[in-house]
Homo-oligomer: A and B are copies of this chain.
Amino acid sequence: MIVESSLTETRSIVRAARQHGRSVGCIPTMGALHQGHVSLIEIARQQCDFVVVTIFVNPTQFGPNEDFTQYPRTLAADLEMCHAAGADLIFTPPVTTMYAGSAQTIVRVTKLAQVLEGAHRPGHFDGVSTVVAKLLNVTEPGRAYFGQKDFQQQLIVRQMCVDLDLPVEIITCPIIREADGLAMSSRNRYLSVVERKQASQLFQTLKLAENLAENSALPPPEIARQMLDYLKSVDGIDVQYAVIADALTLELLTDRSNSAVALLAVKVGSTRLIDNQILRFR
């Protein structure tokens, strides 16, 4: 496994692999890797000949009051996990490599990025789509892998690639959960023991939504209301949103459609968590 911080070196290594006929898969990450990331690397390993993981805590996707400086940096452990999962190349650029002082270009997905996370985190998705465009241009993969956990993010990255004719296939991989259902997240390590227990109620809320979708005739706004009521009953949870949306457009659903996703965002103490669940209406 090669670990490389140079952009031009990374590009030449990947190009050499491609010129030898090897298919390339890329997994963009911010490090602080967990089993969710590992599953992405493992899926890429099965589907591609050459697997690149990028590790870059991207400053432009954090708001001014968010956790950029506190965000966990665990490079040594990350590299071990990448190696164990079978990655070939790790690209770990410094911030100055990714953003020159003169940098002034934004890749902006408009409609999809304005709602939900976009509404709660102004500028966040501009940072995400811009850095992902850059990382895909550096690594030039045939496939790139994202977790369903960040549901809106994978939709936005897909839309960006289609709209900009980027020659890459986006693969969305299943959410990996802890034993009690909490979706794996680099931010889970911020949680205290009490908060960690409270956080497990996010999964229960999604199970409630799934149950109502499959076993009742309730319309989506009523299911969403029950999700909200459930979350509000949990001590220590501050709900940011709990909705049922079209799984392609993210428009809020009013009737029982086939393409639906339950999405929620909460704060547990000072830690912001998101989760989601695809719904199938009976």
- Of the listed residues A102, A138, A159, the one surrounded by the most CB atoms of chain B closer than 10 A to its CB is A102
- On chain B, the residues within 8 Å of A210 by CB distance are none
Interface residue? A191 (CB, 8 A): no
Q: Which B residue sits closest to A134, measured CB to CB?
A: B165
- On chain B, the residues within 8 Å of A70 by CB distance are none
Beta-carbon contact of B104 and A167 below 8 Å: no
Beta-carbon contact of A164 and B133 below 8 Å: yes
Give CA–CA (A129, B7) in the complex, Å.
23
Beta-carbon contact of A107 and B11 below 8 Å: no
Interface hits, A70-108 → B, CB 8 Å: 100, 102-108
Beta-carbon contact of B167 and A137 below 8 Å: yes
Q: Which B residue sits closest to A107, measured CB to CB?
A: B107
Beta-carbon contact of A140 and B164 below 8 Å: no
Q: Which B residue sits closest to A135, measured CB to CB?
A: B165
Beta-carbon contact of B109 and A108 below 8 Å: no
Category for how many chain A residues contact B: 20 to 34
Beta-carbon contact of B100 and A105 below 8 Å: no
- On chain B, the residues within 8 Å of A11 by CB distance are 167
- On chain B, the residues within 8 Å of A166 by CB distance are 137
Interface residue? A48 (CB, 8 A): no
Interface residue? A160 (CB, 8 A): yes
Beta-carbon contact of A107 and B110 below 8 Å: no
- On chain B, the residues within 8 Å of A133 by CB distance are 164
Beta-carbon contact of B108 and A106 below 8 Å: yes
- On chain B, the residues within 8 Å of A159 by CB distance are 102, 104-105
Beta-carbon contact of A104 and B112 below 8 Å: yes
Beta-carbon contact of A107 and B164 below 8 Å: yes
- Cβ contacts A27-69/B at 8 Å (1 or 0 each): 0000000000000000000000000000000000000000000
Give CA–CA (A108, B137) in the complex, Å.
17
Interface residue? A218 (CB, 8 A): no
Beta-carbon contact of A100 and B162 below 8 Å: yes
- On chain B, the residues within 8 Å of A138 by CB distance are 165
Q: Which B residue sits closest to A21, measured CB to CB?
A: B19
- Of the listed residues A100, A102, A160, A164, the one surrounded by the most CB atoms of chain B closer than 10 A to its CB is A164
Top 5 A-B pairs, shortest CB-CB distance: A105-B163, A137-B165, A104-B110, A134-B165, A104-B111
12 A-B contact pairs sorted by A residue (CB < 8 Å):
A104-B110, A104-B112, A105-B108, A105-B160, A106-B106, A106-B108, A106-B110, A107-B107, A107-B108, A130-B164, A137-B166, A137-B167
